[in-house]
Structure 1
Amino acid sequence: MASDLPETMRCVISPEPGQLELVERPLPVPGTGELLVKVAAAGVNRPDLLQVKGVYPPPPGATDVLGLELAGEVVALGEGCGTALGTRVCGLVAGGAYADYCLVPEGTALPVPETLSMAEAAAMPETLFTVWTNLFERGFAAEGDIALVHGGTSGIGTMAILLCRLYGVTIIVTCGSEEKVEAALDVGAHAAINYKTEDFVDRVKDITEGRGVDIVLDMVGGDYVPRNLSCMAEEGRHVSIAFQRGAEATIPIVQLMRRRLTLTGSTLRARSLRFKTMVADELRGTAWPFVEGGRLKPVMDERFPLAEVEAAHARMVAGDHVGKIALIP
């Protein structure tokens, strides 16, 4: 590596469940196919909070340093890499983004165009990969479809709104307050439901004039699952990506049979590098041209210094954020 690079860096770990600690570690050395990126910004995601709780450990072989996405400048290359030093990239990682420097597989790195700030670029990979693979690949969302997405003002929810708008999908979202309903509509949702004051099942039926939705992107789980199925049109697809209200649900099998519904779901972090590289390659030809053209950028909430990671996590826990929270080393 270049002699002008430091020998150590700051990074954030969770030494015990419920704890966050800013520590100093040796600078990582890029292996074959890896880029060493000087981190300009890192995105904060709910899986980071779960890791701190002790219920979502890193996959085997991954670093214990927190953080699943980042943006920065390439400062060193592993064997076989073709990216030029100094290139601005954002990337999806299995861990390590909450740091001054991070190793990024070259296959999951995307170029940062001038249309994005580094904080915006850092807030793209996790939500973009997640929404694309689940809503558009597993859920087969296509022009003319209607989708229901819970958590409409979350990073996932706002990215889903933006992508649905670009691809001609009508999107209905649920939110927890009138302020968030207004925020979701401002982002571009076709309809937003305050789940605390309205029954979203009844409202979806009203909005779709009894037709129902073609896809549900669900991060709630538990008792929401049978309610989601009640919202769905014939041949509908239900995609689970989290289970904030519980990992088990009672499924009305007769509804599945009569209306030919599909239940699926996925997680992203533990998927193979080959899979993530394949998704990145697909995004380069589908969504990334919208990014380069200035038509797709994440909705941003607050930005925090790396040393204030606890405050960043507290904001996500409080649920007051709209869009993505970022850390700035």
Structure 2
Amino acid sequence: MKAIVITSFGAADVLKIEEREKPVINDDEVLIRVKAAGVNRPDVFQRKGSYPPPPDAPQDIPGLEVAGIVEVLGANVKQWKIKDKVCALVAGGGYAEYVKVNAGHCLPVPEGLTFLEAAGLPETVFTVWSNVFQRAALKLDEKFLIHGGSSGIGTTAIQLAKYIGAEVVVTVGSDEKGQYCLELGADSFINYKSQDFEIELKDKPVDVVLDMIGGDYFQKNIEVLKPDGRLVYINAMEGNTVSLNIMQMMRKRLSITGSTLRNREAAFKTALTQDILEKVWPIFAAGQYKSTVFKVFPMEQASKAHELMESSQHLGKIILEMN
């Protein structure tokens, strides 16, 4: 098979196409012929050498989400058939013509969605559902602040939060991105290049904050949370070491949490997949989710896809299409 390989740690041009053997599955896995793969910020971090994959995942082939066709079944797999159309969360190896994955981490491609659209769902939906709805327990009529609202994570969080009836505020880097978020259902946006979200929300506090920035956003997040508010982290691009005023946290009864998915145990991902199938997939079946695919690149242009990701000029998801 052809695969996009990190030939050395560095800039986007280290991504090259190489020939590799098809993965060999175990009894609990399926082999997927990949039609499309999502491009995510962690792929960039892995390419630069700062986000190593788990030991049992491909070490030099990035890619955390795919959509494609089931081609081989493990002996214990009963829920899928050959030729089923699926999308899946993988621990690595998604930038290839074939990838193996635990059968319990696959979901059916929602009816009406293309492989290109479905490939952009798993990483963002799994991350948002696990962190915002399971860990932070966002509820009807609560106010929700999303940093990076026009990102893949942000656009997913907007739509799922609006579906359950929350009020959504986003921070973005331009008014164009803000308008895009409003079109997806956000109630308001704050342009962080011309506005300070702490000042803007001083008298309009929020119940839940989803942050991928870290650094000096931490204290600002604490300030804008209501009593009993929840702050959830999925990344810390601007710094992961912060100072916490414990008494302030106690007085406001705040919960501070966060998680990463890649290294979680298989059983957790299987349970999360089932929860998403039951509670989130009906949203797609009902046609109540807008595709957020911004641009599609052929696999040969994976380096250009990474350059676009790093430029932060995209709105929503970037997808690689396999030959």
What is the TM-score of this pair, normalised by structure 1? Answer: 0.95
The answer to whether the 8 Å contact 1:42/1:97 transfers is: yes
Q: Hey, what's the Cα distance between the residues in 2 that align with 1:69 and 1:165?
A: 24
Stretches of structure 1 that go unaligned for 5 or more consecutive residues are 1-8
Q: Hey, what's the Cα distance between the residues in 2 that align with 1:157 and 1:244?
A: 15
The answer to whether the 8 Å contact 1:42/1:327 transfers is: yes
2:144 pairs with 1:151: no
Q: Hey, what's the Cα distance between the residues in 2 that align with 1:22 and 1:251?
A: 46
The answer to whether the 8 Å contact 2:208/2:229 transfers is: yes
Which residue is 1:254 aligned to?
247
Q: Hey, what's the Cα distance between the residues in 1 that align with 2:218 and 2:266?
A: 30
Which residue is 2:30 aligned to?
35
Q: Hey, what's the Cα distance between the residues in 2 that align with 1:241 and 1:36?
A: 29
Q: Hey, what's the Cα distance between the residues in 1 that align with 2:204 and 2:50?
A: 39
Alignment of 1:312-323 (within 5 A): 312-323=305-316
Q: Hey, what's the Cα distance between the residues in 2 that align with 1:224 and 1:77?
A: 46
The answer to whether the 8 Å contact 1:158/1:298 transfers is: no
The answer to whether the 8 Å contact 1:50/1:56 transfers is: yes
Deviation at 1:267, TM superposition (A): 0.6
Which residue is 1:14 aligned to?
6
Determine what percentage of the aligned residue pairs are the same residue.
44
Deviation at 1:274, TM superposition (A): 0.7
Deviation at 1:249, TM superposition (A): 1.1
2:66 pairs with 1:70: yes
What is the aligned length?
317
The answer to whether the 8 Å contact 2:110/2:281 transfers is: no
3-state SS of 2:168 partner: strand
Q: Hey, what's the Cα distance between the residues in 1 that align with 2:269 and 2:192?
A: 34
Stretches of structure 2 that go unaligned for 5 or more consecutive residues are none
Alignment of 1:118-157 (within 5 A): 118-157=115-154
2:42 aligns with one of 23, 47, 58: 47
Opposite residue 264 of structure 1, the aligned amino acid is T
Deviation at 1:298, TM superposition (A): 3.6
3-state SS of 1:161 partner: helix
Deviation at 1:79, TM superposition (A): 1.3
Q: Hey, what's the Cα distance between the residues in 2 that align with 1:150 and 1:13?
A: 31
Which residue is 2:295 aligned to?
302
Q: CA RMSD in A?
A: 1.0
What is the TM-score of this pair, normalised by structure 2? Answer: 0.96
The answer to whether the 8 Å contact 1:116/1:297 transfers is: no
3-state SS of 1:314 partner: helix
Alignment of 1:141-220 (within 5 A): 141-205=138-202, 210-220=203-213
> Which stretch shows the higher mean deviation, 149-158 or 243-252?
243-252
> Which stretch shows the higher mean deviation, 249-258 or 180-189?
249-258
Deviation at 1:86, TM superposition (A): 0.5
